[in-house]
Amino acid sequence: MTSARKRLAGGLLLASIFFFGSVNDAQAIPAFARKYGLRCSACHEAWPMLNYFGQKFKDNGYQLMNDRDSPIWQNPSYWPATFRITPQWHRDSSDKVAVDQAAAGQRQITSTGFDLSGLDFHTGGTLEKNISFYVLPSSNPSGSFHFETVMGRLDNLFGSPWLNLKFGKFELDNLVSEKRILTLTSISGVYETYHFIPVGDGNIFGRIGDTQLGVEWMGHSLNDRTRVSAALLSSNDGNVMLSNGANSYSGFFAASQAFDAGKLGVQRIGAYAMIGQAPTTYFTQGGGVTVLNGAIGNKSFHREGFVGLFYLGKLDFQVVTQHGWDNAWFGAGYGQGPPFNNGPGVTLPPGSRAPTWNGYLVETHYVYSPQLIFIQRSEWERMSRQALPTNPSNLGNIDMYTFGYRYYPIMTSRAGFAWHNEYSWVRQQGMAPDGFALTNSSLLLGFDFDF
Amino acid sequence: MRTNIREWSLLASAVVLLVSPCVCRAQITEYQQHQWLRMESHIGNLTGHARAAEMDYRRYCVGCHGELGDGNGENAPWVDPKPRDFELAIFKCRSTPTGTLPTDEDLFNSIARGLDRSNMPQWSTFTKQMRADLVAWVKHFSPRWQTEKPGTPIQIPPEPEVTADRIKDGQAVFQKVECWKCHGVTGKANGPSAATLTDDQNRPISAYDFTEGARPKCGDTDQDLYRIFMTGLDGTPMPSFADNIKPDEAWDLVFYLRTLEPQKSKEKEIAKQLGLKPVAPSTAPAAAPPQ
């Protein structure tokens, strides 16, 4: 791999970390609490992360199933809207950044200052019993908006909890939900395990953490102990207007089972898989301008993982392990579009292979009370096969650690407010300008609130 | 100078006067609380401990039922029907005769079932142990559990076979004991008394509308229906008919009630074949409700 490509890939990775980290469009909805007269803590172990009761509420199509779910029971002035934003102070540091002014061509860069997160503007709820919607326009910190989630839902079709449909743009059926993540720094704002791709890999599609466009069937037992789902998605990572993978589809499948473990709590284990295809060949016009729609040359990729939610009273562990596989064309950089265009006569670099890797995630929570939670997460991404035999075997490996706490001084059914304090650290092998490991750290102090 | 001292002592004694009752009260409740916090519940071979539920109560229940269990949580003003006041220990869903305390198992079941057509959710996601602990916690709010024992659950004889005769007999019971006065002749909750019903707290309450297809609060099996009108929903105008209806008649009535519901059932089919007409309120002393 050329160092120019390495830098490009590294830059992309870093940029994506910063981008995603800053847009933590998580979902915690006082509008629901207000509608039902429930405190945030009823549905959230610590908002925005759901507990089992909240998961069941969500799986029922944002309904308590008490014959009072239809909006006809609401005060006519009730408007199911919530916003969330996090003013903050943060310190971000990168130990090796390519800098013209540095004698070695690279140096440590640290920046500190007061800042804003993006803004999430959630609206959601029932339109009628068993018909619901969710619309979430979300901005980045400078205020440019996109649609993070837009969906309609039909639930309990034919009176069966096993027949629920979602249509639109939604988060995949992840038990450990990235949209409800409790960690907020520029490093920890996403799960590495859900977004990892090998260095130089061009598959920008199989990102399990992102909201995706498609249709999902979900079924669950009445008390939600057993859950299954299958989704058909456009392979374009939630990008609208049929850009990129206009003619390619992926599937996402998930199943889980919960167990009553007496005094310890309800434990849950599950598995998921994403299997899909995405294009590597783009048409161009007028001498090289990409025609984004109608890309062809589909190649395949898949991800499969195991999830466990384990509770020991106040202490709980969320565990995810995920295996990833990308077709050799993606491994060689194709998929993201020109200049990597799989046209006539283009061949793979000699010795190219399909890259594979494994990710591990362990997040621990100590819920001291519904108002104070301590959080730790460790993630390790390990390449098991590099796309090019010449790559160092550990190229792109990631170690990420974060810890912090959230303190919720108020506990009501009207609004949420948290004092958030967190430190994160990440090391990526072979990603520094000098070809060695790159280390970043981030410290964040902020007010996280929604109303 | 002297006036100043007098003012100060006046103020001081006023403060003492104001504070002292609070202190005494605080001492009593603290002592009682200490005793009551040892409350247990027993469901099958599960033992629930009140103290173990303290955090769960705060997390899940306090917003409606209140810190003191008096039903005055911050959401109570916006919720109708009102959250239960656990200090009174008067419960709708019991297997025990009217006026008595419910069994631990009754409360255990109510917590998971929730109460439909109210804001009381179905807490079916909890572990059994959590629910057992919460039952003990719910009980610790009322002194009644210190001095009274739960009632003896009513006996429900085995369910007989549905027949056309039983349905007709059931209708006769419905007519005779005047369920229709509140529930209406077709079960639409529009009987002559329906408009003026109030609960124990003098808040307006409507009778159950059988034609709506909604789940009864206290369960929707045949046994549940039997239990509902043979124990009554305490705290509401829905009385117990244990003294007016014999066990065998009670089953007939259960079958008749099924014919009022929109759901498909064997009872509904038979009623259709019989060409069953609603009971005639004219044979009763009260004026006929508008149909």
Instruction: Take residue A39 and report the two structure tokens written for it.
Output: 């405190």
Of B74, B122, B124, the CB nearest to A413: B74
- pLDDT surpasses 50 at A11: no
Same fold, B38-147 and B164-283: yes
| Residue B228 main-chain phi, psi, to 5 deg | -60, -50
Contact A205, A237 (CB under 8 A): yes
Average pLDDT over residues B68-77: 93
- The CATH class for the domain spanning B38-147 reads mainly alpha
Give the range among A19-23, A43-47, B138-142, B169-173 with minimum mean pLDDT: A19-23
* Contact B264/A at CB under 8 A: no
Give the range among A122-136, A313-327, B41-55, B269-283 with minimum mean pLDDT: B269-283
* Tens of pLDDT, residues B238-268: 999 999 999 999 999 999 999 999 999 999 9
A241: left (phi over 0), alpha (psi -120 to 50) or beta: left
Cβ-based interface (< 8 Å): residues of A facing B: 36-39, 41-42, 52-53, 55-56, 64-68, 222-224, 260-263, 265-266, 369-370, 411-413
Q: Which residue has the tokens 């498609």?
A: A214
Q: Tell me if A67 and B116 make a contact (CB, 8 A cut-off).
A: yes
> Where in B82-121 does DSSP place strands (E)?
none
Which residues are CB-neighbours of A180 under 8 A, at least 6 positions away? A26, A27, A28, A48, A49, A50
Helix (H) or strand (E) holding A439: strand A438-450
Q: Tell me if B117 and A67 make a contact (CB, 8 A cut-off).
A: yes
Total domains in chain A come to: 1
Check residue B12 and give its pLDDT: 56
Q: Tell me if A37 and B125 make a contact (CB, 8 A cut-off).
A: no
* Tens of pLDDT, residues A147-173: 999 999 999 999 999 999 999 999 999
**Nearest-5° Cα angle at A267, A266 to A272:** 135
Cα–Cα distance for residue pair A223/A205, rounded to 1 Å: 34
Q: Which residue has the tokens 């909201």?
A: A211
Check residue A432 and give its pLDDT: 95
The three-state DSSP-derived secondary structure of A347-363 is CCCCCCCCCEEEEEEEE
* Tens of pLDDT, residues B148-200: 999 999 999 999 999 999 999 999 999 999 999 999 999 999 999 999 999 99
Q: Which residue has the tokens 């009535």?
A: B253
Helix-helix angle B266-274:B164-176, to 10 degrees: 90
Q: Tell me if A413 and B63 make a contact (CB, 8 A cut-off).
A: yes
Nearest-CA residue of chain A relative to B57? A42
Chosen for mutation from B118, B127, B130 (greatest number of chain A CBs closer than 10 Å) is B127
* Tens of pLDDT, residues A91-137: 999 999 999 999 889 999 999 999 999 999 999 999 999 999 999 99
Q: Please count the other Cβ atoms lying within 10 Å of the Cβ belonging to residue A266.
A: 21
Domain map of chain B by residue range? 38-147, 164-283
- pLDDT surpasses 80 at A9: no
State the pLDDT confidence band at A72, using cuts at 50, 70 and 90.
confident
Cα–Cα distance for residue pair A58/A54, rounded to 1 Å: 6
What CATH number did the domain enclosing A262 receive?
2.40.160.10
Cα–Cα distance for residue pair A363/A45, rounded to 1 Å: 14
- pLDDT surpasses 50 at A18: no
Cα–Cα distance for residue pair A86/A417, rounded to 1 Å: 10
Check residue B270 and give its pLDDT: 95
Check residue A101 and give its pLDDT: 93
Nearest to A190 by CA among A326, A359, A430: A359
Q: Tell me if B128 and A68 make a contact (CB, 8 A cut-off).
A: no
Nearest to A421 by CA among A441, A442, A439, A401: A442
State the pLDDT confidence band at A381, using cuts at 50, 70 and 90.
very high
Q: Which residue has the tokens 């469901």?
A: B43
Domain that holds residue A158: 3-450
ipTM of the complex: 0.88
Q: Output the average pLDDT for chain B.
A: 88
DSSP string over A133-149: EEEEEEE-TT--EEEEE
- pLDDT surpasses 50 at A2: no
Nearest to A171 by CA among A327, A267, A58: A58
- Could you give the percent of chain A with pLDDT greater than 90? 75
- Residue A234 pairs in a beta bridge with A249
Average pLDDT over residues A200-223: 93
Instruction: Take residue B101 and report the two structure tokens written for it.
Output: 């305390």
Q: Tell me if B125 and A369 make a contact (CB, 8 A cut-off).
A: no
Give the range among A160-169, A252-261, B24-33 with minimum mean pLDDT: B24-33
Helix (H) or strand (E) holding A108: strand A106-115
Q: What is the CATH number of domain B164-283?
A: 1.10.760.10
Q: Please count the other Cβ atoms lying within 10 Å of the Cβ belonging to residue B67.
A: 11
Q: Tell me if B125 and A52 make a contact (CB, 8 A cut-off).
A: yes
Instruction: Take residue A351 and report the two structure tokens written for it.
Output: 């010795």
Which residues are CB-neighbours of A176 under 8 A, at least 6 positions away? A191, A307, A309, A318, A320, A361, A363
Interface of B with A in 70-109 (CB under 8 A): 74-75, 78-79
> Rounded to a whole number, what is the distance in Å from the CA of A36 to chain B's nearest CA?
7
- pLDDT surpasses 50 at A85: yes
Check residue A236 and give its pLDDT: 87
Which residues are CB-neighbours of B277 under 8 A, at least 6 positions away? none
Nearest to A397 by CA among A362, A360, A363: A360
Cα–Cα distance for residue pair B260/B268, rounded to 1 Å: 8
Helix (H) or strand (E) holding A7: helix A3-22
Of A52, A68, A262, the CB nearest to B117: A68
